């Protein structure tokens, strides 16, 4: 009897990754490829959907098949995920009409947020979202296209996000999962998962939205055209798909209340499973992928993107060494960092290099190096950047704890987990034990697990059944002495934004007018 395999492919901000697993959850093959986002104007961040999303998918699916030697007919289902929620207008042939407007890091639609808030009123907006409108919401992005690019708007067949695009390219069917659709497209869909005509009317036509389905529904099958482009077998079942953070949370066992994921990638995304919806305008809440499970979540705009900025701007010698000797630049950048005491000798970084999402919801926020003296080196500055991201995580975690939500397990995922000093800093700042997963591939592993679950393959019948495949890799226990030091600096970090936000906005106005 032929073995069964399940493919998962995830598209992120700077790269795409894929895995092939067998019926025991073992990784049979993995592959990744890089892409880049463009920044055509301040606060504008975009991807080329055809090359960055679909192009990567085709490269990875072919590579997984070649590396593994698996017959494509033995791949029983495909799960996908992608960065979300983006806004991509496509025509009837699923061809992009412009580059995709990215998720919360893209802050172009501030005027549209104000327009919608004025139209509906702050009370109604809070009733829908539990918070003010923010840059992660799709409705203002669609309205931006309507206001600023009417010629694109008029030609649009569907307004979709990245996961919808990939599934449509594979199957010809436009769907978005409940987790992403109800949260990010709110209030365009109602509780019955159908577009609400009166709320859509000022934004788009109801038929321009994808159909909402469960993330693990098999919604279609690989078409002949897609099979040719991807190397997959025609007729292979394809799931609805979901966003990358949701899939990554599944990959580390966020399937019940109290389980938490901290995604340490280009940005930070945190998802904590809860037994109910919790309103806090500084955070987000949704019905999660797992039926019956809710979550409270948070997202920042920088983490790995900040360390990349340091690499490209202040550690060019480390990049040169990488090119000449092959030593990873990020490893070189850590020279001397572990010897610097907790708190970087009074240097505090506010990591708002690209504005900020939660908890301040301010696209005009600016980065700060506070406490800089002549005694500080670039190693101090870099450690302070790592600590600043950890302070940001802890600031959000404290808000979650204030709602009496139990947290019994924290997995940290993403490329940042390769930096053990950073992981220890996070444990010390939080004052809590954190673990990296044994299988630290991320969302694509969650996609593959969901693919197996979607067809109810034996051993994958329920979400809880996935837990046997999810184990800790390395666990970091907080140093309580360092934690006490970090508590003092955390208080200063928490006060820095409120103390400087008016000046940040004044700078923003000056730059915009120059």
pLDDT, one tens digit per residue, over 189-245 is 998 999 999 999 999 999 999 999 999 899 999 999 999 999 999 999 999 999 988
Specify the pLDDT at position 129: 81
User: Where does the pLDDT of residue 183 fall: very low under 50, low under 70, confident under 90, or very high at 90 and above?
Assistant: confident
User: Where does the pLDDT of residue 105 fall: very low under 50, low under 70, confident under 90, or very high at 90 and above?
Assistant: confident
Report long-range pairs for 461-464 (Cβ below 8 Å, ≥24 apart): 463/250, 463/255, 463/290, 464/255, 464/256
Instruction: Provide the residue count of the chain.
Output: 514
Residue 461 has pLDDT above 90, yes or no: no
- The domain made up of 254-438+479-514 has a fold known as Nucleotidyltransferase; domain 5 (3.30.420)
Specify the pLDDT at position 286: 85
Whole-model pTM?
0.83
Please state, rounded to an integer, the average pLDDT across all residues of the chain: 94
Residue 143 has pLDDT above 50, yes or no: yes
Residues of the chain with CATH 3.30.420.40: 5-246, 254-438+479-514
**How do residues 2-38 score in pLDDT, each as one tens digit?**
689 999 999 998 899 999 999 999 999 999 999 999 9
Q: What is the CA radius of gyration of the chain?
A: 22
490 vs 405, residue with greater confidence: 490
Q: Contact at 8 Å (CB) between 182 and 138?
A: no
Specify the pLDDT at position 375: 97
- The domain made up of 5-246 has a fold known as Nucleotidyltransferase; domain 5 (3.30.420)
Q: How far does Cα 451 stand from its chain's mean position?
A: 20
* 320: helix, strand or coil: helix
User: Where does the pLDDT of residue 115 fall: very low under 50, low under 70, confident under 90, or very high at 90 and above?
Assistant: very high
Helices H / strands E in the chain, number of each: 17, 23
Cα–Cα distance between 274 and 292 in angstroms, integer?
10
Cα–Cα distance between 195 and 95 in angstroms, integer?
23
User: Where does the pLDDT of residue 1 fall: very low under 50, low under 70, confident under 90, or very high at 90 and above?
Assistant: very low
């Amino acid at each position: 009897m032929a073995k069964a395999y399940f493919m998962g492919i995830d598209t992120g901000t700077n790269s795409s990754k894929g895995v092939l697993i067998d019926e025991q959850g073992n990784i049979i093959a993995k592959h990744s490829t890089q892409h880049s986002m463009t920044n055509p104007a301040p606060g504008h961040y975009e991807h080329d959907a055809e090359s960055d999303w679909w192009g990567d998918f085709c490269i990875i699916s072919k590579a997984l098949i070649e590396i593994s030697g698996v017959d494509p007919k033995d791949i029983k289902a495909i799960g996908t995920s992608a960065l979300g929620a983006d806004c991509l207008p496509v025509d009837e042939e699923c061809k992009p009409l412009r580059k995709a407007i990215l998720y919360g890091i893209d802050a172009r639609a501030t005027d549209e947020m104000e327009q919608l808030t004025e139209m509906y009123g702050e009370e109604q907006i809070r009733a829908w979202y539990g918070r003010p409108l923010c840059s992660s919401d799709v409705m203002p992005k669609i309205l931006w296209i309507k206001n600023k690019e009417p010629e694109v708007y008029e030609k649009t067949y569907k307004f979709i996000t990245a996961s919808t695009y990939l599934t449509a390219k594979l199957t010809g069917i436009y769907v978005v999962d409940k987790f992403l659709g109800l949260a990010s497209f709110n209030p365009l869909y109602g509780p019955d998962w159908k577009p609400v005509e009166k709320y859509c009317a000022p934004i788009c036509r109801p038929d321009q939205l994808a159909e909402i389905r469960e993330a693990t529904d098999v919604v279609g099958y690989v078409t002949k055209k897609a099979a040719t482009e991807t190397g997959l077998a025609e007729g292979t079942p394809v799931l609805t798909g979901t966003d990358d953070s949701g899939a990554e949370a599944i990959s580390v066992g966020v399937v019940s209340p109290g389980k938490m994921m901290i995604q340490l990638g280009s940005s930070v995304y945190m998802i904590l499973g809860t037994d109910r919806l919790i309103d806090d305008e500084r955070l987000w809440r949704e019905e999660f992928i797992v039926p019956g499970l809710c979550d409270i979540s948070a997202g920042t705009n920088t983490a790995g993107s900040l360390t990349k900025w340091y690499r490209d701007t202040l550690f060019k010698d480390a990049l040169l060494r990488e090119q000449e000797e092959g030593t990873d630049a990020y490893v070189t950048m850590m020279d001397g960092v572990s010897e610097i005491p907790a708190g970087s000798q009074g240097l505090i970084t506010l990591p708002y290099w690209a504005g900020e999402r939660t908890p301040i919801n301010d696209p005009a926020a600016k980065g700060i190096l506070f406490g800089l003296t002549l005694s500080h080196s670039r190693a101090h500055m870099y450690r302070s950047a790592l600590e600043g991201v950890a302070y940001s995580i802890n600031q959000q975690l404290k808000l979650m704890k204030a709602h009496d939500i139990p947290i019994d397990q924290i997995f940290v995922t993403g490329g940042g987990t390769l930096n053990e000093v950073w992981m220890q800093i996070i444990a010390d700042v939080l004052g809590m034990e954190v673990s990296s997963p044994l299988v630290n591939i991320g969302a694509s592993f969650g996609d593959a697990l969901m693919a197996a679950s979607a067809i109810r393959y034996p051993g994958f019948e329920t979400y809880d059944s996935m837990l046997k495949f999810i184990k800790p890799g390395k666990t970091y226990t907080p140093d309580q002495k360092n934690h006490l030091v970090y508590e003092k600096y955390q208080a200063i970090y928490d006060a820095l934004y409120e103390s400087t936000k008016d000046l940040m906005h004044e700078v923003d106005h000056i730059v915009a007018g120059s």
